[in-house]
Structure 1
Amino acid sequence: MTLIGCQEQSQDTIDETSGTNTDVNKERPKNIILLIGDGMGLSQVSAAQFYKEGTPSFERFPVVGLSKTSSSDQLITDSAAGATAFASGVKTYNGAVGMNRDSISVPTILEQMSEQGYHSGVIATSSITHATPAAFYAHVKRRGQAEDIASQMPASGVDFFAGGGLQYFNHRSDGADLIQELVDSGFAVDTTSIETQLTAEKQAYLLAADGMPRMLDGRGDFLPKATAKAIEQLNSGDKGFFLMVEGSQIDWGGHANETDYLVSELLDFDQVIDQVLDFAEKDGQTLVIVTADHETGGFTLSDLDGDYNQVNGTYSTGGHSATMVPVFAYGPGSESFGGTYPNNEIYFKMVRAIGLVVD
């Protein structure tokens, strides 16, 4: 049976008195770290059981939920609509970045927290202008407007960012020098290595023309090192911080239907989750959420030629699927993340957990 236009009624806001939204957390977090495994469905998460040496990070979480991922206009979401749901609490059309379904800009949790004195950061293994990271600091009608997205970074509330996308800052069609604009806005910028020690209050690492290299092609420990730098930098104030870290290329491995690609990116992301949980356990004031914007590839861990003692990655599509994706939560405020809910409710759960006052 094929479903056409038979999606749930999506909401731009969620009533304060409905469903799980009545959760009240007695203990509030100081920090929020949101880790997004792009394209990471339950089968991708399950793959960590079989391909990782040791216990997967996902088994450390006491709270697990399920997120329904459809966008406002289609049963199957893309990353732009999915990330905008997390960042701003609205269901929107595929391709929209920081815009609602009427192409009107909507504030993001990063912007709202920044305005109230929190530090903030975004990290990705894609270009930093790619759909998921962009949805936390930029507002454009179409995700492909990479130069427009980049132009919004200098004046954004972001204090730390790391990823690819250098060409959208220094080799632009309009000739603008956004690297200089970043410097003028207080950023120290490095385009060579995540190993570089920057000392400014705002820090930027743009380390590839577009997306970062694959793990299979030698990206190495960029993601864990960038995450460690971000936490150290952002955790320096009294107010707290918001950090979004994306394992971008789990999605790309799914699109390519290449299990080695997918798994290598998944295990890199898994390492970062462990790292963040170690910090949160010691810190005691950090809410950690791990989820995905959607599943990619229709990935399945099937038997290998009828042998039930071997698993084999198989795929049903080169695109995305409509399956629900898991949500893992740890720390103060994590209790409300259990259950089943639309993806935009994750925004409201984060806002309520930290006690953020928004218009």
Structure 2
Amino acid sequence: MKIKLIILACLVLVIFACNSGKNVNKEANNPKNVILLISDGTGLTQISSAFYFKESSPNYSRFKNIGLIKTSSSREDITDSAAGDTAFACGVKTYNGAIGVADDSTDVKNLVELASLKKINTGMIATSSITHATPASFYAHTLNRGFAEKIALQLAESEIDFFAGGGLQYFNKRTDGRNLLNALIEKQFTIDTTSLNDFSKIKSSEKAGYLLAQDDMPSTIMGRGDFLSNATELAIQFLSKDNSGFFIMAEGSQIDWGGHANNAEYLVSELIDFDDAIGKALDYAEKEGNTLVIVTSDHETGGFTLAAKKKKTEDGVEYSDYSEIGMTFSTTGHSAALIPVFAYGPGSEEFIGVYENSNIFEKILKVTKWGGLD
């Protein structure tokens, strides 16, 4: 009889242990923080360039969970950044040029609005103007991406807690004569228009904003330096200070512009700079343990290719030298290529597979429960 009781007790303990383990794993799959890194205009070939031209090991190689997204907009096979990033930010397919609105032009709730309802801190970073299509899609609602002054006004009225990028002229040199810097200060923002501060300088601030260029930030080639990495790190420090949880979107905007210009040096330098920012996000996530990092792009630009370098013999006969890479382009526009998604941290398994770009939004809400989804 005693033996039966001992066996029964052991079974109860095993069942309890298994159930406890399931509860722990379930909890671990709900990240507290999300860092979404968007490399505008970046397909697999652009990413591949880091493995050949970056002097250190690319941070892309640190991911284990990888998927692919389809990027077509609601009306076009080939998306632009506005429609592509609205899909990420709002979970809907819309027409090219639309910011935060559905195909029927009605406003759609974005991740900043939904996360803020849960008292989650939010931040936006871009190497373009902060009013550009990608960052704008996460806090604004306009029928056309070109309405930069309207987008700037909506940023000032939004629940964003931290931002860094260019676009100062849309705040203080507006056609309506308003100075939105005053409006931001009234909302408890510490504003800097010269450089990023050390965290110690803004630690006690309620909110922080950096507008460091009249329009777009300079390129890496033209001396932007480590702005993207430093801004990402500063945003993490600032938004995590009260332990409320945070959402950050950081964009490597100008990879896309290198593709449009068919300028391989420009493109690769911006891609490597973006990879450095990935490193900052992953370093924090690995140490903190409750942060989901997602890296993807809205679309590919330039039809970029890493092929054998074309050379000529002494007789003038062209041949392909397979020992050296030549970078070529097939278009100055966007392409319809599937785009990789890299994910790390709790909930990262959700991002494996092939799915629509709008599912990124749904997957973030599912794993964080910021939208009240089970």
User: TM above 0.5, one fold?
Assistant: yes
Question: 2:348 is matched with which residue?
Answer: 334
Structure 1 residue identity aligned to 2:360:
I
Question: 1:73 is matched with which residue?
Answer: 75
Task: Point out the structure with the larger helix share.
Answer: 2
Selected match of 1:291 from 288, 291, 296: 296
2:257 is aligned with 1:255: no
Question: 1:186 is matched with which residue?
Answer: 188
Selected match of 2:39 from 11, 15, 37: 37
SS class of match (2:155): coil
**Pairs within 5 Å for 1:102-251:** 102-195=104-197, 197-198=201-202, 199-251=204-256
Structure 1 residue identity aligned to 2:308:
D
Question: 1:58 is matched with which residue?
Answer: 60
The two structures have a TM-score, normalised by structure 2, of: 0.88
> What are the superposed Cα offsets for residues 57-97 of structure 1, whole Å, 9 maximum, x if unpaired?
11100100001000001000000000000001000000000
Q: Is 2:131–2:152's contact at 8 Å kept on the other side of the alignment?
A: yes
Equivalents in 2 of 1:266, 1:357: separation in Å?
32
> What are the superposed Cα offsets for residues 214-239 of structure 1, whole Å, 9 maximum, x if unpaired?
00000001111111110000001232
CA RMSD of aligned residues (A): 1.2
> What are the superposed Cα offsets for residues 190-232 of structure 1, whole Å, 9 maximum, x if unpaired?
0001136334120000000000000000000111111111000
2:316 is aligned with 1:316: no
Question: 2:103 is matched with which residue?
Answer: 101
Q: CA deviation at 1:357?
A: 3.1
The two structures have a TM-score, normalised by structure 1, of: 0.92
SS class of match (1:217): coil
SS class of match (1:215): coil
- Unmatched runs of 5 consecutive residues or more in structure 1: 1-23
Structure 1 residue identity aligned to 2:95:
Y
Distance 1:235 1:26, change over 3 A: closer
Q: Is 2:28–2:290's contact at 8 Å kept on the other side of the alignment?
A: no
- Unmatched runs of 5 consecutive residues or more in structure 2: 1-25, 311-319
Equivalents in 2 of 1:27, 1:146: separation in Å?
38
SS class of match (2:181): helix
Q: Is 1:295–1:325's contact at 8 Å kept on the other side of the alignment?
A: yes
> What are the superposed Cα offsets for residues 96-133 of structure 1, whole Å, 9 maximum, x if unpaired?
00000011000101110011100000000000000000
Structure 1 residue identity aligned to 2:146:
G
SS class of match (1:44): helix
Overall identity of the aligned pairs, in %: 57
- Matched length: 336
Q: CA deviation at 1:175?
A: 0.4
Equivalents in 2 of 1:136, 1:109: separation in Å?
6
Equivalents in 2 of 1:94, 1:216: separation in Å?
30
Question: 2:275 is matched with which residue?
Answer: 270
